[in-house]
Amino acid sequence: MDFQPHHLHGTFNLIDEEDEIFDYQMLYHSGEQWLTFRLGHETYGLEILQIRELISYPENITHVPRLPSFILGMINLRGLVLPIMDLRKRFEIAHFESGPFTVIIIVQIKTKVIGLVVDSVVDVVNLQDENKLEAPEESTGVNAKFVKGLANLRGEMVILLDLEQLLAPEELAQISMIR
């Protein structure tokens, strides 16, 4: 598995500068920055460079006809219309909570922008290579192709998601085919 360390050059762009979620100094530490969040009983991680911003659960999500239920609908984010995917439904996590901590992580891969609903955000962590573990086949409830690897963080296992796989054209093509 491929773990290229990222070289950060201070041009890190969280888009919404007002939401200073992270200590900027942290960015210059070695290793990769990951955002960890909860889905059901598990902790997951997304690479921070793919995250645009975090928003709270919006008032109105416009339902999209004829799409599978894990696409909750579309929202207007300051003029940008983007789809919202409920990761809990996508991964068929049986018990999830919606509450004040429910958060939408807005991620971006190239021009694709999508919101991912998660139970709650946990932390921003530095992952050194020594924290990482190879993902064993079928180790988690999540479809193995969406898992980039695992990490051991102070004894807790974090499932590192492969966003590019999750938003891969063939995955998305499937979404639009489902009736």
Partner 1 sequence: MNLDTLPAEEFLEEAQELLQEIEEALLEIEENPHDRELVQRLFRSAHTLKGGAGMVGLAELADSAHEFEALLSKIRAGTLSVSPQTVSTLLKGRDDLLSLLNPLLGTSDIDSSSEQPQNAKVLAVETISDEKYSSKNVNSPPDSFIEKEKNVFLLHLHFDETCLQQGQEPMMLFRQLEPLGNITMIAHTSEIPNWETFDPTSLYLWWSIKLKSYKSKDEVEQLLEFFRGGQTRFSIEQIETPAENEEEVQEAHQKMLDQISASKPPEQLEIEESKILSEPITLGVTETSKTTQTIRVPVSRLDRLQNLVSETVIRQAQLLRLNDAIQATNDQLSEQFLQFVEDNEQAVRELQDQIQQVRMVPVGTIFTPMKRVVRDFASRNQKQIRLEIYGSETELDKTITEQIQGPLMHLLRNAMDHGLETPSQRQEVGKDLTGNISLRASQQQGFIVVEVSDDGRGLDPARILEAGRRLGLVANDQNPPEHEILQLIFQPGFTTAKEVTEISGRGVGMDAVKRDVEALLGNIEVNSEIGKGTTLRLKLPLSLAIIEGMLVRIGHEKFVIPLLLVTESLRPHPTQQKRFKNRGELIDIRDQYHPLVRLHQRLKIENAIEKPEEGLLIVVQQGSQKYCLLVDGIEDQLPVVIKSLEEHFIHIPGIAGATILGDGSVCFILDVAAILN
Residues making contact with partner 1 (CB under 8 A): 60, 62-67, 71, 73-76, 79, 81-83, 111-114, 167, 169, 172, 175-176
Distance CA 119, CA 58 (A): 14
* CB-neighbour burial class of residue 28 (10 A; exposed 0-12, middle 13-18, buried 19+): exposed
d(CA 81, CA 99): 24
Place of tokens 């201070």: 10
| Residue closer to partner 1, measured from CB, 84 or 127 | 84
Least Å distance, CB 3 to partner 1, is 27
Of 51 and 150, CB closest to partner 1: 51
Q: Locate tokens 């999750």: which residue?
A: 166
Say which residue the tokens 């239920």 belong to.
69
Q: How far is the CB of 74 from partner 1 (least distance, A)?
A: 4
Nearer to partner 1, 114 or 150 (CB): 114
Rounded to a whole number of angstroms, the minimum distance from the CB of residue 23 to partner 1 is 32
